[in-house]
């Protein structure tokens, strides 16, 4: 099955689906040809499969996809169901799943080793700041760092207000600008593309 049919036909729920962000992630991985790739936040595997398809088509690189799966207290999935999905599309060679907390897993990664990172763990300001505290030095110069959110609309979603979460757009300060070139693709839920300087 070709990658476009897989990404378009995936029978999963994902906020990324409406605006075809799977194709965007696929295209970025095809373009930059990263080798060591990590994803944090898998749920049913929409983004995982999209990235893994690109690695397979590149014939280069692999993805480690990290999630709490069954241990997450809100909307979650099972590691077995995502494993089955990867098998169904014959992507097991390109992607492996790890059940762990992002902030524990990131500390196991070698400094300066990452080429590509996708962060989608119900992002908010604090999670992004924490992630960068541990994760920034794990990224190589030129590393692509994608994260869910970054638009004003995404900062206004109901649960962010209800749980008093800090706005993601607060992270775009002078320090961030010194560390990354970046732009936000605005369609909801929005996706911010960063490249480590």
Ligand X SMILES: C[S@@+](CC[C@H](N)C(=O)[O-])C[C@H]1O[C@@H](n2cnc3c(N)ncnc32)[C@H](O)[C@@H]1O
Q: Binding residues for ligand X, per CB under 6 A? A: 14, 16, 40-43, 46-47, 66-68, 72, 76-77, 101-102, 120-122
Write down the least CB distance from residue 101 to ligand X, Å: 4
Q: How far is the CB of 4 from ligand X (least distance, A)?
A: 17
**In the complex, least distance from residue 28 CB atom to ligand X, rounded to whole angstroms:** 14
Minimum distance from residue 67 beta carbon to ligand X (Å): 4
| 9-to-2, 15, 20, 92 alpha-carbon distances in Å | 11, 15, 11, 18
Cβ proximity to ligand X, 61 vs 149, nearer residue = 149
Strand order from edge to edge, sheet including 191-196: 95-99, 62-67, 36-40, 114-119, 139-148, 191-196, 180-185
Smaller CB separation from ligand X, 78 or 197? 78
46 or 141, CB closer to ligand X?
A: 46
> Cα dist. 157→49, 151, 167, 191 in Å?
26, 11, 10, 15
10 Å Cβ neighbour count for 134?
15
Name the residue nearer to ligand X (CB basis): 28 or 66.
66
């Amino acid at each position: 099955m070709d990658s476009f049919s897989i990404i378009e036909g995936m029978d999963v729920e994902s906020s990324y689906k409406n605006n075809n962000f799977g194709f965007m992630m696929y295209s970025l991985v095809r373009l930059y040809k990263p080798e060591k790739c990590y994803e944090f936040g898998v749920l049913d595997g929409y983004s995982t499969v999209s990235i893994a398809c690109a690695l397979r088509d590149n014939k280069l690189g692999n993805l480690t996809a990290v999630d709490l799966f069954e241990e997450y207290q809100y909307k979650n999935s099972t590691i077995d169901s995502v494993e089955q999905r990867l098998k169904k599309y014959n992507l097991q060679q390109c992607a492996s799943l790890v059940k762990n907390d992002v902030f524990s897993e990131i500390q196991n990664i070698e400094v300066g080793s990452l080429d590509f990172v996708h962060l989608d763990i119900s992002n908010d300001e604090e999670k992004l700041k924490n992630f960068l505290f541990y994760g920034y030095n794990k990224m190589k110069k030129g590393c692509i760092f994608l994260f869910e959110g970054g638009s004003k609309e995404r900062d206004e979603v109901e649960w962010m207000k209800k749980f008093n979460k800090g706005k993601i757009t607060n992270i775009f300060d002078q320090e961030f600008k010194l560390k990354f070139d970046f732009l936000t693709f605005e369609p909801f839920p929005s996706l911010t593309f960063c490249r480590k300087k």
